[in-house]
Amino acid sequence: MKRMAIYLALFVALIGACSSPGQPQANGEMEATVQRVVDGDTVELSTGEKVRLIGVDTPETVKPNHPVEPYGKEASDFSKQLLTGQKVTLKFDVEPYDKYKRLLAYMYLQDGTFVNEKLVRDGYARIMTIPPNVAYADLFLEAEREARENNRGLWGKSTQNPSMPSPSTEKPKQEVPGSDQAPPEGKPIKGNINAKGDKIYHVPGSASYEQTNAEMWFATEEEAKAAGFRAPKR
């Protein structure tokens, strides 16, 4: 028994020696320095790795073959001023990387500022929750509701982006709310929480799918139901 305990202790010590502290791993964390801001919700570290902030989505400014979206420049400039050159703590959820090999992280400044939440609460980002990385989904939802109620940033009454060209005399194309949201790969079902707090999911092709702004995305109806969402009543 004593010999077995010694072997076990040696094994644990070996595992500890072989592990790489500070490396990305599920539910772990690491220290880093932001070298540059790529977009409002994406940064590049001094190591060259890119980080996509979990749970938030700022208007696009650098997406190939995609126009700069309203309030995109403001969001990008805000992130640049807030993060460029800063030492930060990255905390990971269930998945440390996305399919593009970018780190997926919650980011904190040295003064404790939770960057992901701040972007949403100050109106620079919408929430975009993609299971299984949902640790702060409720916090982000509350932050977005506060931003909406106070008309902050992209939720302001005037959505005209001063960096965009002035409107032409041509009749503008009518936009359908939610129609410009691209679902994450393999997760086409939209989850939305209405003003009454009802959690409702919408599958592609359903009556309200195009008009629905997704606050969470799901791969299957079973996954949506497991998260507490229900199908529309009609």
Q: Is 52 a catalytic residue?
A: yes
Q: Is 152 a catalytic residue?
A: no
Distance CA 67, CA 226 (A): 37
Q: Is 60 a catalytic residue?
A: yes
Cα–Cα distances (Å) from 203 to 157, 188, 219, in that order, read: 30, 7, 10
Catalytic residue among 49, 102, 142, 221: 102
Catalytic residue among 60, 117, 144, 215: 60
Within 10 Å of residue 203's Cβ, how many Cβ atoms? 15
Strand 29-39, strand 42-45: pairing: antiparallel
b/e map 23-59, b = 16+ CB within 10 Å: ebeeeeebebebbebbbbbbbebeeebbbbbbbbbbb
Query: Which sequence positions are flagged as catalytic?
Result: 52, 60, 102
